[in-house]
């Protein structure tokens, strides 16, 4: 019955894209000019790691709309910058 439901205002809609899992990478927290490093995985080559992180950055750009990320391989790992 309609009388069994309470109508509420100002209840934020949780993000559904991650199915309740915590984000692995800090896409949402990254401000313009900031970066984070993903250390190389011993199970993957440097090229595989760079491709994986680059794909994740592209997915985050689509999901978060208006944010852009740049990915580069370094000696320590793959670094991601927020550039827009």
**Helices of type H across the chain:** 46-64
- Return the pLDDT at 22: 79
Residue 65 tokens read as: 């709309």
What is the dihedral angle through the alpha carbons of 72, 75, 77, 79, rounded to the nearest 10 degrees?
Answer: -30
Q: Domain for residue 18, yes or no? A: no
Beta-bridge partner residues of 36:
80
How many domains is the chain built from? 1
- Return the pLDDT at 67: 96
Q: Domain for residue 66, yes or no? A: yes
- Return the pLDDT at 23: 84
Q: Domain for residue 14, yes or no? A: no
CA gap 38, 51 in Å, rounded: 12
Which domain, by its residues, includes 57?
Answer: 30-84
Which of the residues in the chain have pLDDT under 50? none
């Amino acid at each position: 019955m309609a009388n069994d439901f309470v109508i509420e205002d100002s209840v934020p809609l949780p993000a559904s894209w991650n199915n309740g899992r915590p984000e692995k990478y800090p896409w949402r927290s990254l401000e313009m000019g900031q970066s984070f490093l993903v250390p190389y995985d011993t199970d993957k080559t440097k090229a595989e790691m760079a491709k994986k992180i680059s794909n994740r950055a592209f997915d985050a750009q689509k999901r978060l709309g208006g944010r852009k990320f740049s990915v580069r391989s370094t000696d320590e790992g793959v670094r991601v910058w927020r550039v827009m």
